[in-house]
Structures are given as structure tokens and as C-alpha cells.
Structure 1
Amino acid sequence: MAGMESGTHGATDNDELASYRLRRERELSSLYATARSLAALGEVDEVLPSIVRHAHELIGSDFAYLSLLDAEGNLTLRASAGTISPEFSSARMPPGAGLGGRVIESKAPFWVSNYREARTLRHNSTFDQLVAGEGLMALLGVPLLVGERAVGALFAADRTERPFENDEVALFSAFADHAAIALNNARLYEESRISVQRLQEANRTIEDQVTTMERAAAVHEALTHVVLTGGGPGDLAQVLVEHLQGMVTVLDRDDRVVASRSSGGAVVGTGREPAPELLEAARRTGRCATAEGDDGAVRSVAVIQAGGSHLGSLSLTRPAAPEPPDIRMLERSAQIMGLLILMRDARVEAEERVRGELLMELLSRQPLHPAQRDRAIARGVEVDHLDVLVVADCPGKSTSDVVRQLNAVSPEWSGLAGEYLGRATMLLRADDVDDVANAIHDRLRHTLGAPVLVVADRIQGQERSRSFTLAQRCLEVMRSLGETDRGSTTQQHAMYALVFDPERSHDLDRFLTDSLGPLLEYDQRRSTDLVTTTAAYFANSGNLSRTARSLHVHMNTLLKRLDRIGALLGDDWRAPDSALRLHLAVRLRELRVAFEGGSSGAEG
């Protein structure tokens, strides 16, 4: 009966995950379709109702509305969707008041589950009366940003008290980014149309402006297509090159080149990076920065940002300086690239989370439930064939960074990677443990760009937890031995298994007692340092002068100590066989003390 309940619970988890993924796919599909339809609109009066209609359908709230800032800084309701009263439709909020004022000032999303009881907001009595009459309770607002300037806010409201989930806020914010672009394009289009009407004598200038706008609309349509078809940095760079010419380079959050395209052909993973001072200027201002290099080429850089996080940059290199429309095109492309990166990161994080959960289940539960087995098979992993466990550690990087790189290489060995008990861990299938340890080390060393330790262990039967214990303790022993950058196996360090294998702790106690017992007992009783002296003697290859200097004692003191050691262990303690055993004992004791951070059991 317990098995059936467990299986049902696992199936429910699987159903919930599938339902969640299906819902996210529907939401993202709706977001992309909405963005595309907005890109096709030209008039502000067309864009505003379309924005709130799509927002209302996307978030599924009782009603949605959009307010824009007027010349005095008031938020004035311009469009709404859903059933609301005429009085609410004419709502106007003074600067800094209400949830809208909070959103405009912070330029960030904000929500309350009950507006009337929200004490963190500066309330407006007129608007509060409208809220009461409308029965409004839960309210979410996101800013409409054009560059770094907030031009208004988009709201979703419900008449029942409820929180807004992170997924809803992220989806609504992503939609608002598209809406702001569409609204800004509509404003530009409208301004151009008015200019044409007023300045008919300047036909050529007006035609150039219209051409620029059509070109910008074509680029936006092409970039939207990249989003819809799941394209990457290289596809976006190619679209820009086709319209801007020159060379477009995409850098990641660590300022490494991930793609480069030029009008002369495609070159992946190469390209000249912009000067650091140009990157810094773009990051500081949040706008495109342009400068001429020593080689005579003009480089323009637009940063890729989202929620205050730096995600990378786009750079354009041409013989001549770009025109203002080209600059705007580059900046908008950076915004779309930010959306692409966020979408990609969300997918990767969701998959990594599922794989990490499955890894934890495999390491902490036995036997494996059918639902867990199905989850693994769905990802191309045969859990019964996972016969090697790997632990990796890179002090210069976070555990999540190491896990991300392990996830990237895990398909090569039909494996699973994740974080387990604070360690970057991977289960995989391999014939040669030595080869896989070296291969994973080389890959991590290259991708992380820092020294990394990797330890692999062959799983005996289904004892995955024991393999994890051996691997992670062996890694600590390696670090105590001074190793910082190596791929190894627990078998290669078998001579130290007495230290890192918990099941052999008693064997180590007996070995230390048999080998060092008289010295340990004498040191404890007399508060002397005979064990330390023995370790220093072997560490200096029996050279008495170097040993005395390392211990900071006089030669006569050292000789007296060595005589005492001989009296306790026997005069043959320096004979080859006895010395080998004694040297190994003091070294294992040192490792245990370093590994456990305290006195060994033999000393107690």
C-alpha cells in the first residue's frame, strides 16, 4: 500500500511538472504572438487598446488598464479592458501617489494583494473612493520603459484578494517591455506622420524618415521572428548585419565573445572586443556608447540588461559613425537580446532544477520509484546504468556555476548533474573511470577558466550515497595534500583510503595506535612533541640540520628527542621497513588532523 501511495505521489509530481511546463509554453507562445501583433500596429490609438486587450488575455485578471504620464507627471488612464465603471475609466493619479507612483519611481514591478490595506503606499483619497466603488483588491503594476525613462505603467487588477506569483510578474514585465517598444514605435510613427503633414515642402527629408522607420519596423519584425523561432545570439547578430552592415559582436555577461557576424560572412566565437572604457561608458549610462578606435574603425556598444543585471552587450563596428536611427536599432536589439537570454536562462534553470531533484532522489532514496525512473528515461537517462559518481570543486567559482557546466557535459555520458549536500555532483555511465575523471576535469578547467579538482568513484551495486561520501572526502584529502587542479579517482588515492573512507576509520585508529602509540602516550603524559619531531625528521629526509631548523630547536635538543624516540620504539625505528611504516603513520595522522580539523581518535 505504501508503494502505491509513493507511486501516486511521484505521478502527481510528474503531472504537476508537465502541467506547469505546458502552461509556461502556452504563456510564452501567447507572449510571442502578442509581441508580433503589436509590432504590426502603427497608430497610438490602435496600440493602446491592443496592449490592454492582450495584457488582459495574457494575465487572466478581472480587468487591465494602462496609464501614461502627462506633462505634469500625473498618471492618466488611457485604455482599459474588462468590466469597469466610467468613473474608474477617467482615473487620474498625481505624481508619487498610489501603486502607480511607486512603480514609476522605482521603475520596477510592484503588487499588493489588498490595495486598500496596503500601508506602504501613499494613498490618494479620490482614487481610494474609486477603488472602493469598483471593488478592486489585488493590483499588479509594471513600468513601461523607453530606455531608462518611464512613460507610464500597465496594471492588472482582481476583485478578490490574492498574491501575484513570480511567474506572472515576470511574464507581465516581459509583455510590458514589448508593449513599451510598440508604443514608442507608434509614437515615433505618429510624430513622423504629423511632420509629413506640416512639412510637405521637405519631401525628401520626410521620405528619408519614413524609410528609416520602415527599416526599423522591418528589423523589429525580423528580431521578433528570431524570438519566435527560438534563435540565438548568432541569428540576432545576422539580422543586424543585414541592415546595419559592418560587424556585429555579441558578448556574454563575462564580456566573452559568443557570436560575431560581418557583412563579409559569418564568423562564430571570434571578433574584436570593444575597448573596456567603451563598455564601461555604456554600462554607466545605460545608453549606446560610440568611439573611434586606433585602427580608424568606429565602435558602438549597447549593454544588455534586465532587472538591473548585466547580461552582456552588443557592439557594432563600421568605418563610419552610425546615424541616430542605427543607434536606436542597436539599443532595441539589446533589449530583445535581454529577453532571449532571460527566456533561455528560465528554460535552463527549470531543466537543471528537475535534473538536480532527480539526482537527489537517486542519491537519497532506495529503491527507486517507478515515477522517478520514468522522469529519468524521459531525459534519456537509464538510471540502472549510472555506475560512476563524480564530485567537482572550484574555489574560484560558485557551486551553481560548476553544476551548470556539469549539466552541459552530462549528455555525453547519459548522466545527471546537480548540487548535493553543497557539492557539484554528477551521476554518469562510463567504462573507464580514470578517463572520465580526466575528461571532465579538462572540460571544466577550460569552461570555468580556473583550477578545479574532480574525483570519480565507481559505484558498487546501488551504493550511490557511499560513493558520494568517498568521492567528496577523497577530494578534501587531495586538497590537504596540496593538490588544486587535477582529475582523479578514489582508487588512485587508495593508499589514503584509511583517511577518507568512514568505514575504515577503526582500521586507521588501530594502525596509528600500533605504530605511534608509545609516542602519542608519552606526548600526552609529558606534554612533549615526539610525534611532531618524528614527522619533521621524515619530512626532511633524515637530515638533522634541516630538521632542527624546521622545529626551531638546538641540535642537542633534537638528538635527545631522537634518542627518546628510539627508547620508546626500539633502536631499529630508522631501519628501512620500520621507517616506512612509521613515516606512513605520521603522514596519515597529519592528513586526518587536517581533514577532520582536530585530534585523531588514536590520540584520545
Structure 2
Amino acid sequence: MKVKTIDTEASIAEYMTHHFPSRDYQIHFAPNGYDRRLVCAAGSEESDARTPFAELTLDYEDECKIVVRFFGADGAWTASQAKELHWRLYPVYAEWRMERQQYILRQVIASIRSMTSMLDVDVLLNNILEQAMMVIPWKVLGTLWMYDGDVQALKAKASVGKHRDAVSGMMLQIGEGIVGKTFRDGQARWLRTAKDVYEEAVASTSDQNLHRMYYSGGFHDTQSVISVPVFVDREPACVLIFNQYGDRPQFTSMDFQLLQSFADQLSIVLMNARLFRDLNNQNALLVKRDQIHASLMKLSLQSKGSERIVQEMGKLTGLPLLFIDSLDNKKHASRGSGPFRRLDLERLHKQFDADQTPGPYSQGGLDEDGAFYIQPIVSAEAVLGFIIADMNRDLTPLDHIVLEQGSSILALEMVLKQSFTDSRYKRTSDMFNEMLLQNDLTVIGQRGKELGLEEHMPYLAALIVLKQQSGLQMQASGNRLVELLRKAFVGQLPVVFVSNNKVTALLAIAEQDQGQAKTRLEAVLQEAGVRVEEEAAVAGMGSVYRGLLSIQKSYTEAGKALGYLESRKQKGVIRYVEIGVNRLFLQQPPEQLEAYVQEVFEPLRGTKADASHLEETLLMYIACSRSTNQTAARLHIHVNTLYLRLKRIEELLELSFHNPEHLLRLELAWYLRGSPYA
């Protein structure tokens, strides 16, 4: 590399002749502070061998020096002469700096071109290392150490320069040696002397790696080291390290900055490689997703059924799968159901009916309970069922795609099946309602025969209303309830169907079995409603009557019993016969009953009456069956005080406790006051 021009040399010679006449001199340029290159000289060729001589060292940026050697006995110069000489010789340094910067720029541009024209990451890494080597004029070994997560150590990914074979096969732990510390701390290091290199390496490098480094002949003459971390997504991914050889340290601050810039280029290469790899993986997954969707959809179009689809999903994932159909209350395993035997399905329903997000699921946190992955089957924001995978290993992206695509295909299958079920229920509902509305015995008999009813059998009607649900979720709950009813009343349920949010059931049971039928129905509702916090359903039951003509009577009673429960805002099951005297008020408007209660008790609610607690006294008197002693004791008053209050009540209400009609009026108002109608 040139370090002078004719103009520069002529200018220096003129200056030296003017200020230092008859003096022999040599001017040397030392770009690294040590190795000297002759710029210009004056005198005989043997001048450098003369003695005595004196040297003037002029310092410039980037650790560059220019040394002026004067020959002769008189070697003194003034401070002003030294300062002017520094200025006169600055073009030598400037020209060198400009040429070096242009050379570096060409190498960086070549490196950038490589980055934009190649896709092979290994070739790119080697090219960038070679470009970095070309801008550093010293003898160096450049190595890129990359972290390998499989072995949890740093391995040499690429190496260029002297002794590059010495690093192949080596593995460094995080924090081990100069490379390991750079990776751990994420901080660049510049070890300027051989002593610093030795102390830094020996302090934390394993004996095995030390032996390989120093006894392989590859690192014994290292004079200085620059180690720079390479970041990807703000996290250290690898380390770029340059070992400089020779008889003295020669790295400069410019070299340190250059290697950091090449580390930034490596970061871009690795980031692009990661993005390209992720893009390829994503594209491959999308292609695979389309293939999986087509495969499962083909089974659906061929009407192979849900079980065949689940079997195919099990083959694609290699995982044991359990399919739960909440519409039909059925389940099917792709292979042995052993892993799912201890699965609490009711608890599962309770959790995922509210939160429909797929995710891991574990029961109780015990190892023997196992861990599962739950993929809800959702349609129109309603959970129709579940695909449950036994997580005997971590799920891959392909597993997630199979579960996602399979759940959508199964949802379509289940919605189609529900459409057929709704059609069947609609036909049953139409025939049943027509039978109830008919007066023609012939038509009633015909409809009963179509429904599978025998003419003189005893029947009981029951009506169940589903709460807090709508749409497909209500249909799923209705189907589940129907399946539970069929299981509870095997052979005793000739007619059952769902219409909107109401389940109609006709039970063929004997009169003496009515109490047992209510108990079984309560158990069914409890099992069906355990998934929600509020009551899931309420039910009313009519009485048992013989013959098809009496079904309408039992059905009407069931409706009244159900209305009674809903009006009282109660839950559970009630039989019509259990309503008792309230049957007298079922057809009365609540407003009229409330007015009646108000009419009876209003005279006792005046200011003076309230002070005497007359209303409380009357209520307690009737509750105690008009026992004066018991009433006085419960009110904590003397019996004479009670007599005075009772007399005052008779006066205000204008009645007598000894008049049966008056007494009935009071007791009826007292009863209604505690009923929902008051």
C-alpha cells in the first residue's frame, strides 16, 4: 500500500533542506506503531548505519506514528520545529488513511453483495470472515463460534486463516474461555497483550480445551485477541473472534471497530437465515395443513362418520385421541381408552364450556392422573364436544394443525347430524301435539300407534325447561338430557323430544312408581346440570293415567306444575299432586291475590298499630295455631299483653277470632302472604 505522493515528498524535502541544511535524515511511517515503512530520505545510502543519531516520533490517530531519524552529532530540534514537522508530515498519514478507508469500503461492499446474492448460510459466513480478514493486514485466525442448543455449548461454525483446523471439533461451555465469556456477557473484548490473552483463557478454560489450544501448535504465539458477540433478536447467538499472531501485538482501535461492523453483518445474515427458515417452515405447514384438510374432508364427504375421522387423526398425530360428542352424549377413542379412564368429563365440561380456548388440561396435578390437551369442537360459539389428546410427548405444530382441522371437520359432521335430529324431533313433536288436540278417537289411536304407544297403558307426562342457554349450546344440552333420560328410563320412555328449550317426555310407568320416577328424574337433572353454576333445568310432572285419551290430562298437569315452580323461582322437580292447595290459586292473577293480602293486613300497619306490633302478633298467633301461651312465649310478652293486642286486632279488622269464616279469611291471607302471589 502506498504511503506517499511526489508532491508530498517534494514538499517534505524542501522543508527539510530549508530548516535542516546539510543534515542527513530518514522519515519512516509506522501504521501500527511498530513496523516502519520508509517514506523519504536524504544523504548517502549508508546513513542509517552512522552514529550518533536522534529520532523524533510524531503520533497520529489510529495508533499511527511517523518517525524522523536525524544523522549527525547535532540532533537537537526545537518544539516549534517538531510541531511544524508534525503538520508537514500529516498528508502522509492522511493519504494512507484515505487509501485504507477506500479499501475497507470495497471489502464491505463486496460483503454486502454476498449477503444479497446468496442463500447458503455457511458460504455467506465464510465469505464475510474472508472479507474481514482482507481488511486486517496482520496474521490472524478468524472464527465464528455458534451456540448449539442440542449440546448446550459453543461450536466453531466457520473458520478462516492460520491454524483454522485447530478449532474444528472443539466445544466451549457458556462462560468458558474468551469466547464463552463474550457470549455470556454480550460484551466485546479486546485483549491487547499475550499476557492478557493467556490469563483470560487459562482462568476459565477446561484442561481438555487448553491442551488442544496450546499443544496443537495453533495458539502458542497469539499476541492479541478481539472477541465480539453477534446478536439475533437482541440475544447473543454466536461470537466472532480474531486471534492475531506474530512477535508483538498489532491490533488497532480501527481493527476493533471494523470487526464489530462485520459482527453486525453476521447478525443480519443470521437473522435473514432465521426468517427464511421460519418462512419455509410456515409454508411447509400451510401445505401440510391443506393436505390434512383435504384428507379429512374426503372422509366426511364419503360419509365415513366421525369415528373414522378420529381414527385418521390418531394416525396423523401418533397420539391416543378421545372424541366426545356432547350432542349424542357418546365418546370414541382412536386407540385404547386406557389413558382416558380417569378423566373427569363433568369437570372438563364445566371448565371448557365457559372458556373455549384449546390448551393443556391436568386433573389434580398428580402424575398418575396424566396430562391432556383439549381441543373444543365449537360451532356458533357453542361447544359441541371435545378432541382430547393424551400428551405422552410435547405437541408439534403439525399435531396442532391436525387437531384444529379435525375439530372443524367434526363440527361440520355434528351440525349435520343435529339437523337430522332436529328434523326427527320436529316430526315427533307434531304427531304428539296433534294427538293431544284431537277429539277423534280414530285419529288419536292412529297417532298413538305411530308414536309407539299402546292404547290402555298407564302414562305420565313430564316437561323440562332448560335454563341459561340458547342456540347450539341449548341443543347440545337438550340432546345430552334426552340420552340421560333414555338411560335412566330404559324401556319406559316411548316418547321424548326437544322443542326450543323444552324437553317433553312421556313415561310408561305404573301408578305406584311415580315417586321413584321423580327421584330418577331429579338424578338426571343433577347429572345434566352439574356443568353450570345456576340451575340447569326445572321440571314438572303430571299424574299417571291409563289410556291415550288421558295423556292430555297428565300433560296439562305437568305444565301447571312447571308453571308453579317457575313462578316461585324454585329449581328441581315437582309433581302436580305436590302443589296441594296452591292448585286453587294457579288460575288467579297475582295482582288480585296481592290486593286481597293488602286488604286484610293494611289496618294493622298504621303508626299506632306498628308501635304495638299488631301485625307481628297476628302472624305469630296464626303460626302457633292460636295458642295464647305459645304465642306469648315466642313474642316474649305477658299473656295479658297478648290478650290486649288480640282484642285491638279484632277491633281494627272488624272481625272475631271465634267466627270460623273470619278465621278462615285471616289464615288464607296469612298463607298467601308467604306465597309468591302476595
Bigger Cα Rg = 2
TM-score, with structure 2 as normaliser = 0.41
